[in-house]
With several copies, the nearest count.
Chain A
Amino acid sequence: MIDKRVRSLADAVAGIPDGATILCAGFGGAGLPDALCEAVIEQGARDLTIVANNAGTGRTGLAALLATGRVKRIICSFPRSSGSVVFEELYAAGRIELELVPQGIISERMRCAAAGLGGFYSPVSVGTRLAEGKEHREIDGRMYVLEKPLKGDVALLAADRGDRWGNLSYRKSARNFNPTMAMAASLSIAQVRHFVELGEIDPETVITPGIFVDRLVEVPA
C-alpha cells in the first residue's frame, strides 16, 4: 500500500543533507511552501543552494531560511521584489551568492533535468550579459545559447489538495513552479492544504501525478 502522507513538518523534511540543492516553488506568496521552508530551519541542513523565482519577502518562510545564513547560493530570476529585505541585507554584505537566470530558463532547465535530457539551445539572453560564457550556436539562421539541466536534490512544494499516492492539485496561479519542480528533484515534498481520499481528485485534473511526489504533509491555510 502506497501512503506518502507524513504526520509532521519535521517528518516531511527529515534527511535533507548539508550541501543540498533545494528547489523552492512559489511566485511571490502564491504556491509558496512557507511552512516547509521554516521546517528546514529546524531540520538544520546547511550550505544550501536554493532555486526559486524570488528571494523571499518579509521575515518568514524562505526569507527566514535565508536569514539563518545557511544558504550559500540562490539561483533565481527576480530577487528584487519589494520586501526582499533579508536577501538584500545578505547580498549587500556579500554573504550570499546570486546566480541570476531568466524566469523561463530556470523553469525550462528544471524541466530538462526532469525529462532526462542533456541540455537545450535557447534564444533567450543572446546578446546580453547573461549569455557571457555560454556556448553559442547558430541554428537555421538564429543564434542560441546552450542551457544545461538544473536538477534538485529536494523540491519544496505547496499544493491545494493531495492524496496518499501523492497526486496534487493546485488553485489558480498558485500552480506556477510547483509541477515542474516536483518533476525535477530526487526528493519532492509537498505541503498541502487538504489531504483528500484517493480518487477525490478527478484523474483528468491531477496536475502533478503522484509518481513525482515522495512525501506530503497537511498544512491548513
Chain B
Amino acid sequence: MPLKRRQIAWRAAQDLVDGAYVNLGIGLPTLVADVLPADREIVLHSENGVLGVGPAPGDNEVDWDLVNAGKQPVTLLTGGSYVHHTDSFLMIRGGHLDLALLGAFEVSQKGDLANWTTDDPNFPPGVGGAMDLAVGAKEIRVLVEHTTRAGAPRIRRQCGYPLTAAGVVRRIYTDLAVIDVTSAGLVVRELVDDIDFRTLQAKTEAPLHAAPDLRPLRAPAL
C-alpha cells in the first residue's frame, strides 16, 4: 500500500535525531510537527519566526497570532522563542538549521529541486522561503508524492519546471519509497511492501538503484 501523506511525514520524522534543528516547509512537511518521535527533543523552525513549533492546537487553543509557514495555527513548545523575519532567515541562510524538509513539484537525479513555479500563465508563481531554505540549511530532504495525480513521475532525469536550487536534495521520502541522492545516482533504501522495484522504476523517470540492504517501507496506521 502506498503511504498516506501523514505516513510519509511520519517516516521522515523517524530520521530526525535528538536535538536537531529542523525547518518544515509548507504542504506535506508541515505534517511532520504532529508525528515526531516521542523519545527525542527536536526543535522545529518555521520561516515566519517561530523556533520550537509544537503540535497543532486543540480547537479551543487556536491563536491566529501563532501560525506556521502554511499559515495554519500551531503551538509553541516550552523552550521555544520568537524572532522577526530577518533573524529567522539569518537562521535559514546562515547554515544554522541542521535540516530542512521541503515539498517539491519535481526532484532530479542530481538533487535539483523545483518547487516554486509550474509556469502556468494563469497562476502566479510563489517562491516564499523555498530558495533561501534550499541553499541555507545544512541538509535538504524532500517529502513528495511519487507521481502527480495524472501519474507523471516527480523524480526525473532533469527537472522540467524552473529550479529552486541545483544539486541540494539528499534524500526523498515518497508514498512508495525512501530514496537517497548520491554521487552514484538515486539509491532506493526502502520500498513499500506491495510494489516491486520494477514497478517503482516505471513510476520514476530517473534511473534507480536498489540499495544492497533494500528494506520494506512501513508506517503505522496513524
- The interface stretch among B60-68, B142-150, B175-183, B187-195 is B60-68
B86 touches A78 (CB 8 A): no
Find A211's partner among B43, B46, B84 (CB 8 Å cutoff). B43
Is B14 located at the chain interface by the 8 A CB criterion?
no
Is A6 located at the chain interface by the 8 A CB criterion?
no
Is B92 located at the chain interface by the 8 A CB criterion?
yes
Find B86's partner among A102, A108, A163 (CB 8 Å cutoff). A108
Say what secondary structure dominates the interface of chain A.
loop
Which chain A positions have C-beta within 8 A of B91?
Answer: 209, 211
- Residue-by-residue, is B77-90 near A (CB-CB < 8 Å gives 1, otherwise 0)? 01111111110111
Find A124's partner among B45, B125, B131, B163 (CB 8 Å cutoff). B131
Which chain B positions have C-beta within 8 A of A163?
Answer: 79
Find B132's partner among A28, A102, A201 (CB 8 Å cutoff). A102
- In the complex, A199 Cα to B164 Cα: how many Å? 37
Residues of B96-148 contacting chain A, CB below 8 A: 96-97, 122-132, 135-136
Is B95 located at the chain interface by the 8 A CB criterion?
yes
A98 touches B124 (CB 8 A): yes
B51 touches A116 (CB 8 A): no
Is B166 located at the chain interface by the 8 A CB criterion?
yes
A80 touches B65 (CB 8 A): no
A80 touches B123 (CB 8 A): yes
Is A195 located at the chain interface by the 8 A CB criterion?
no
Closest B residue, CB atoms, query A83: B71
Q: For chain A, which range describes its interface: under 10, 10 to 19, 20 to 34, or 35 or more residues?
A: 35 or more
- In the complex, A124 Cα to B47 Cα: how many Å? 15
Is A127 located at the chain interface by the 8 A CB criterion?
yes
Give B residues with C-beta under 8 Å from A.
Answer: 18-19, 21, 40-41, 43, 45-52, 63-67, 71, 76, 78-86, 88-97, 122-132, 135-136, 162-166
17 residue pairs from A and B, CB less than 8 Å apart: A1-B40, A2-B43, A30-B66, A53-B85, A80-B125, A80-B126, A81-B126, A102-B130, A103-B128, A104-B47, A104-B88, A107-B85, A125-B131, A128-B131, A128-B162, A203-B76, A211-B45
Other A-B pairs beyond A104-B136, A209-B81, 20, CB < 8 Å: A1-B41, A27-B71, A30-B66, A77-B126, A78-B128, A88-B124, A102-B130, A116-B93, A122-B93, A124-B135, A125-B131, A127-B165, A127-B166, A128-B163, A165-B43, A175-B49, A175-B84, A198-B78, A198-B79, A203-B80
